[in-house]
């Protein structure tokens, strides 16, 4: 019974304890996200442009 109460108390402490907000995020995470977003956007734009060129070249060739 005592073990159950102590484990319950430890569980409740974890639930009610505020997360540590003093941790700072590293800039590598933000830089990676920025480069990933830029690379992804450029890829999508390139695919759209290539698609338009392909569609319009088919129409003019026919």
Confidence band for 17, pLDDT divided at 50, 70 and 90: low
Domain total of the chain = 1
> The tokens of 20 are what?
């540590």
Q: Tell whether the model's pLDDT for residue 37 goes beyond 70.
A: yes
pLDDT of residue 16: 64
Domain that holds residue 62: 38-62
Question: Distance between CA 49 and CA 62 in Å, rounded?
Answer: 20
Residue 8 lies in a domain: no
* Averaged confidence pLDDT in the chain: 77
Q: What are phi and psi of 25, to 5 degrees?
A: -80, 145
Tokens linked to 32: 């990676």
Q: Which helix (H) or strand (E) holds 12?
A: helix 2-16
pLDDT score, position 50: 96
For residue 2, tell me if it sits in a domain.
no
pLDDT more than 70, % of the chain: 52
Q: Residue 5 corresponds to which tokens in the numbers above? A: 């109460």
């Amino acid at each position: 019974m005592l073990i159950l109460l102590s484990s319950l108390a430890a569980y409740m402490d974890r639930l009610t304890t505020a997360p540590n907000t003093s941790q700072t995020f590293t800039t590598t995470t933000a830089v990676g996200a920025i480069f990933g977003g830029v690379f992804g956007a450029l890829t999508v734009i390139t695919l759209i442009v290539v698609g338009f060129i392909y569609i319009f070249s088919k129409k003019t060739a026919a």
